[in-house]
């Protein structure tokens, strides 16, 4: 029987060419290499509250100063703290860790920030330490019990009150939340750089591939009413930015104004603690002072006795 030729396909495909079609099938069956996923910028994965705590707060040193200031005023140790505008209340946590007899009350209007603090700060304490912290989500201009030995309003937070009437109202409430032998502490800043629009204070916070730096920007300042805007941004080692992570719109208050308002609110006396350490990289040396050098950028404490 004679062999017959296989008819050719009229189309231009390779269906009649077994070797070519097999080659194509084989090439299709080969597994494709997965594409490498691009790493997300550090700014997208970073937690702004962690960056803030590492850049701005030094809770252990704050607690040490609170104890020292109270001893200076009354010659004994304090045991109860109220942290107004407490945010993530890291100072409250450090306070209860410092002595098993110490209790702390944290007050803040932002429930989201308090929730973060519970998850990331409170949870790291021992169960017994957690029971000595009370958190209140409310306006700081409310009276609460029990009264405390030390009331702290840190990081220029009371500057959100832009009139004398508002500040004095707050100071009166703060005073009412203190024990008979109690002190109120607040920090202050000043100097020509604080009024220079566009001025940026930069500090390297963490080194290495996952490091970052802190940028404090003086955005605007109105010399007529002392309204000022500041913000905090973070720049990361990969070049990415978390811009305006925190924005502050305050009234810029001076030391004499605040001390006068404390008197009007009923406080018996106020003391200024000035940082004698000129090197920013070294630990602060806080000393009581009535005279201070002119400085382009300074920070101090005001301690008010009930």
- The string of DSSP letters for 221-252 reads E-TTT-EEEEEEEEEETTS-EEEEEEEEEEE-
- pLDDT tens digits for range 270-287: 999 998 876 666 778 899
Does 59 have pLDDT greater than 50? yes
**Bridging pattern class, strands 80-84 and 103-108:** parallel
Top-level class of domain 43-190+253-305: alpha beta
- What tokens were used for 221? 């300042």
Average pLDDT, the chain: 89
pLDDT-based confidence at 9, cuts 50/70/90? very low
The mean pLDDT of 40-52, rounded to a whole number, is: 93
Spatial contact of 214 and 206, defined as CB atoms under 8 Å apart: no
Residue 266 pLDDT: 97
**Bridging pattern class, strands 298-305 and 269-275:** antiparallel
Does 79 have pLDDT greater than 80? yes
Does 7 have pLDDT greater than 60? no
Residue 298 pLDDT: 92
Residue 92 pLDDT: 98
Proportion of the chain in helix, strand, coil states, percent, rounded to 5: 30, 30, 40
DSSP state of 209: T
Separation between Cα atoms, residue 131 and residue 146, nearest integer Å: 15
Residue 8 pLDDT: 44
Separation between Cα atoms, residue 220 and residue 241, nearest integer Å: 21
Residue 10 pLDDT: 46
List the chain domain ranges.
43-190+253-305, 194-243
Residue 295 pLDDT: 87
Residue 5 pLDDT: 44
Q: What percent of the chain has pLDDT over 70?
A: 87
Residue 31 pLDDT: 61
Spatial contact of 124 and 153, defined as CB atoms under 8 Å apart: no
């Amino acid at each position: 029987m004679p062999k017959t030729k296989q008819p050719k396909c009229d189309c231009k495909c390779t269906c009649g060419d077994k070797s070519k079609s097999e080659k194509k099938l084989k090439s299709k069956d080969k597994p494709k290499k997965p594409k490498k996923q691009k790493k997300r910028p550090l700014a997208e994965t970073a937690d702004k509250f962690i960056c803030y705590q590492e850049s701005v707060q030094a809770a252990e040193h704050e607690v040490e100063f609170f104890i020292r200031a109270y001893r200076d005023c009354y010659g004994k140790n304090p045991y109860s703290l109220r942290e107004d505008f407490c945010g993530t209340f890291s100072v409250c946590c450090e306070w209860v860790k410092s002595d098993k007899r110490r209790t702390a009350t944290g007050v803040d209007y932002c429930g989201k920030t308090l929730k973060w603090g519970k998850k990331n700060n409170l949870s790291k304490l021992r169960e017994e330490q957690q029971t000595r912290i009370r958190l209140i989500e409310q306006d700081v201009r409310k009276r609460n019990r029990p009264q405390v030995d030390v009331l702290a309003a840190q990081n220029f937070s009371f500057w959100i009150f832009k009139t004398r009437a508002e500040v004095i109202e707050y100071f009166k409430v703060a005073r009412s939340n203190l024990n008979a032998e109690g002190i109120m502490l607040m920090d202050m800043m000043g100097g020509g750089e604080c009024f220079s629009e566009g001025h940026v204070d930069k500090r390297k916070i963490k080194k290495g591939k996952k490091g970052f730096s802190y940028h404090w920007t003086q955005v605007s300042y109105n010399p007529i009413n002392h309204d000022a805007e500041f913000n905090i941004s973070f720049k990361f080692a990969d070049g990415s930015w978390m811009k305006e992570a925190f924005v502050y719109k305050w009234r810029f208050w001076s030391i004499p104004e605040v001390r006068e308002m404390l008197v009007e609110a009923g406080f018996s006396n106020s003391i200024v603690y000035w940082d004698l350490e000129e090197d920013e990289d070294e630990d602060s040396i806080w000393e009581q002072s009535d005279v201070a050098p002119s400085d382009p950028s300074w920070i101090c404490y005001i301690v008010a006795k009930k």
